[in-house]
Chains A and B, each alone.
Chain A
Amino acid sequence: MKQKKSFEINKKLKRKIISVAYGDANPLDKIYIYWLARRNHAIKAELNNYQRTAQAVHSLEEECPEELLINLKLQNVPIPRTKSSIATDFISILVNKPVASAFVAITLIVAVAFSVILNRPVQKNYTSQEVQRANEQASYAIQLIGNILNETTEKLEKEILKEHVAKPIDQGIEIVNKLLKKE
């Protein structure tokens, strides 16, 4: 039959129990105390008592009354803003939690570095044959455009302007001359 060992709560053990209850013990001590508490009712009761007290203590921060800040004006001191802004919160994190701000900075640098590496433009190396072929195709296309423009100019000069513009103007002038002669 297993017998539970009885543990005497000496000064050293009590110090560990108190540290665990208030949340500032090292991990090894935490594991040890919780293990002991499972095996011994006295230790468990002591730990629970201290934990209850610690919980109540940690909820005790008093809020500074706003009228105190307003009264500062009488002493020619600027009235501090009563509501915190995003900027104030950000700066307070930088000041009070350098680990958090360092972590954010490192994450940003890594993210930027990764995006630069992943989005690097891919350089293709073309062969001389491919370059020559591209040149030939480009010159052919330019030639085609040139031919089209020449044909358009010819048609404009020889047909459109001659037949459809100049001729009607000449005919109109002839009619006018005839009319003037008759008079």
Chain B
Amino acid sequence: MLKEQRYRFLVQLYKNKIYSYSRYMLKNKMDADDVTQEVMIRIWNNMDKFNLFAAKTWIMKTTNNLCIDYLRRKTIQLKREIEIDEIFEETFATKKPGDNPLHLTHTNMMVAKVKCAIEKIPEDLRSIFILYEINGCKYREISQTLDIPLNTVKVYLLRARKYLQQELKSYETEEIV
């Protein structure tokens, strides 16, 4: 009973972080779904092995390890095909009445561009970028999750931010051309 309650609490707290991390690392909704489910199953099976207050590192580490396994297995070509369709859906599918269409389109386009650009960041920089910027993890947590020194986290994060900006600039250049 207590185990179930603890499990429910942990899943409620971390489900979006697990899914976001998987989604941006794997660039693929299906793989992200698989990884997310697998992580939740592992959390249930290992409930006795960690305490509630130190769960975040364990969960993100497990998610990262599974994502790396998936990346090694899957081919890049297949991921790219699915990626383009999903971005199209996300950019143009949602529409709320009363929204300024011009502003909405511009925002959606910007978000879609940023998502595309994030997926192009090299894997080692991308993991840190997602954990820090999207999942809101601290430097120390990222260092423990990925087993890398604290200074390396800061350096990689800076590189990822620069890389992302560079990618967005090249998008703008392509659009003009």
The chain A residues found within 8 Å of chain B, CB to CB, are 14-15, 18, 22, 49-50, 52-54, 56-65, 68-69, 71-72, 75, 77-78, 80-81, 84, 88, 91-92, 95-96
Scan B58-99; emit 1 where CB is below 8 A from any A CB, else 0. Answer: 000000000000000000000000000000000000000000
Residues of chain B within 8 A (CB-CB) of A71 are 37
> B45 — nearest CB in chain A belongs to which residue?
A77
A122 to B164 CA separation, bound complex (whole angstroms): 70
**Cβ of A65: which chain B residues have Cβ within 8 Å of it?**
19, 33
Would you call the interface of chain B mostly helix, strand, loop, or mixed? helix
- Closest 6 CB pairs between A and B? A80-B11, A64-B19, A64-B15, A56-B114, A62-B20, A80-B8
> Are A80 and B12 in contact (CB-based, < 8 A)?
yes
Report if B52 contacts A (CB, 8 A).
yes
- Chain A nearest CB, measured from B110 CB (Å): 5
Q: A49 to chain B: which residues have CB within 8 Å?
A: 165
Interface: B150 (CB within 8 A): no
CA distance A18 to B166 in the complex (A): 13
Query: Is the Cβ of A69 less than 8 Å from the Cβ of B11?
Result: yes
**A22 and B37 contact, Cβ closer than 8 Å, known pairs A80-B11, A95-B53:** no
Q: Is B133 an interface residue (CB 8 A)?
A: yes
Beyond the given A56-B111, A72-B37, please list 9 additional residue pairs across the A-B interface where CB-CB is below 8 A.
Answer: A53-B114, A60-B24, A60-B118, A61-B17, A65-B33, A69-B15, A71-B37, A72-B44, A88-B9
Chain A residue, CB-CB nearest to B32? A62
- Whether A56 contacts B53 by the Cβ 8 Å rule is no
Determine if B168 is an interface residue (Cβ-Cβ < 8 Å): yes
In contact, B40 and A77 (Cβ under 8 angstroms): yes
